[in-house]
Amino acid sequence: MRNANTRIIAQNGNHGLDIYLDVSGRQHYLTTRRANGLIYLWLRDGKTIGEIHRTRPTFTRSGQKTYHYAQHLIKLAEDYFKYDLAS
Protein backbone atom coordinates (compact mmCIF):
# COMPACT_ATOMS: atom_id res chain seq x y z
CA MET A 1 0.00 0.00 0.00
CA ARG A 2 1.34 3.37 -0.98
CA ASN A 3 0.20 5.40 2.04
CA ALA A 4 -1.16 3.60 5.08
CA ASN A 5 -2.16 6.91 6.73
CA THR A 6 -4.72 7.79 4.05
CA ARG A 7 -8.21 7.80 5.53
CA ILE A 8 -11.43 6.30 4.15
CA ILE A 9 -14.56 8.18 5.18
CA ALA A 10 -18.28 7.37 4.78
CA GLN A 11 -20.95 10.05 4.49
CA ASN A 12 -24.70 9.82 4.00
CA GLY A 13 -25.57 10.81 0.45
CA ASN A 14 -28.77 11.21 -1.53
CA HIS A 15 -28.81 7.63 -2.83
CA GLY A 16 -26.97 5.74 -0.12
CA LEU A 17 -23.58 5.78 1.52
CA ASP A 18 -20.85 7.79 -0.23
CA ILE A 19 -17.31 6.52 0.36
CA TYR A 20 -14.43 9.00 0.08
CA LEU A 21 -10.66 8.67 0.18
CA ASP A 22 -9.02 11.48 2.17
CA VAL A 23 -5.51 12.06 0.83
CA SER A 24 -3.63 14.94 2.48
CA GLY A 25 -6.84 16.77 3.38
CA ARG A 26 -8.43 16.43 -0.08
CA GLN A 27 -11.40 14.11 -0.45
CA HIS A 28 -11.62 11.90 -3.54
CA TYR A 29 -14.87 10.10 -4.32
CA LEU A 30 -14.55 6.30 -4.42
CA THR A 31 -18.02 4.81 -4.66
CA THR A 32 -21.63 4.85 -3.50
CA ARG A 33 -23.08 1.92 -1.61
CA ARG A 34 -26.61 1.21 -0.48
CA ALA A 35 -27.45 2.52 2.96
CA ASN A 36 -25.81 0.31 5.58
CA GLY A 37 -25.76 1.29 9.25
CA LEU A 38 -22.93 -1.08 10.16
CA ILE A 39 -20.54 0.33 7.56
CA TYR A 40 -21.59 3.91 8.29
CA LEU A 41 -20.95 3.56 12.03
CA TRP A 42 -17.61 1.92 11.30
CA LEU A 43 -16.39 4.57 8.82
CA ARG A 44 -18.19 7.81 9.77
CA ASP A 45 -15.17 9.21 11.64
CA GLY A 46 -12.78 7.74 9.10
CA LYS A 47 -10.35 4.86 9.31
CA THR A 48 -6.82 4.79 7.97
CA ILE A 49 -5.98 2.21 5.34
CA GLY A 50 -3.57 0.69 7.85
CA GLU A 51 -6.40 0.17 10.36
CA ILE A 52 -8.63 -1.31 7.68
CA HIS A 53 -5.84 -3.60 6.52
CA ARG A 54 -5.42 -4.92 10.09
CA THR A 55 -9.12 -5.85 10.37
CA ARG A 56 -9.58 -9.55 11.09
CA PRO A 57 -12.74 -11.67 10.88
CA THR A 58 -14.54 -12.59 14.07
CA PHE A 59 -17.13 -15.25 14.78
CA THR A 60 -20.04 -12.80 14.71
CA ARG A 61 -22.04 -12.06 11.61
CA SER A 62 -21.30 -8.32 11.79
CA GLY A 63 -17.59 -9.07 12.24
CA GLN A 64 -17.59 -11.19 9.09
CA LYS A 65 -19.38 -8.47 7.12
CA THR A 66 -16.98 -5.82 8.35
CA TYR A 67 -13.98 -7.95 7.39
CA HIS A 68 -15.23 -8.65 3.87
CA TYR A 69 -16.16 -5.04 3.25
CA ALA A 70 -12.72 -3.98 4.55
CA GLN A 71 -11.10 -6.22 1.93
CA HIS A 72 -13.32 -4.66 -0.74
CA LEU A 73 -12.36 -1.14 0.39
CA ILE A 74 -8.66 -1.98 0.23
CA LYS A 75 -9.06 -3.16 -3.37
CA LEU A 76 -10.97 0.00 -4.29
CA ALA A 77 -8.31 2.22 -2.70
CA GLU A 78 -5.46 0.37 -4.43
CA ASP A 79 -7.19 0.70 -7.80
CA TYR A 80 -7.80 4.40 -7.19
CA PHE A 81 -4.13 4.96 -6.33
CA LYS A 82 -3.03 2.95 -9.34
CA TYR A 83 -5.28 4.42 -12.02
CA ASP A 84 -6.74 7.76 -10.93
CA LEU A 85 -4.14 9.44 -8.75
CA ALA A 86 -1.27 8.35 -10.97
CA SER A 87 -2.57 10.34 -13.95
pLDDT for residue 60: 94
pTM of the entire predicted model: 0.82
- Residue spans per domain, the chain: 7-84
Q: Count the Cβ atoms, other than its own, within 10 Å of residue 52.
A: 23
Cα 12 from chain centroid?
A: 14
Query: According to the model, what pLDDT value does residue 1 have?
Result: 53
Instruction: Tell me if 80 sits within 8 A of 30, measured CB to CB.
Output: yes
Return the pLDDT at 70. 92
Q: Which residues of the chain have pLDDT under 70?
A: 1-2, 4, 85-87
Q: Tally helices (H) and strands (E) across the chain.
A: 3, 4
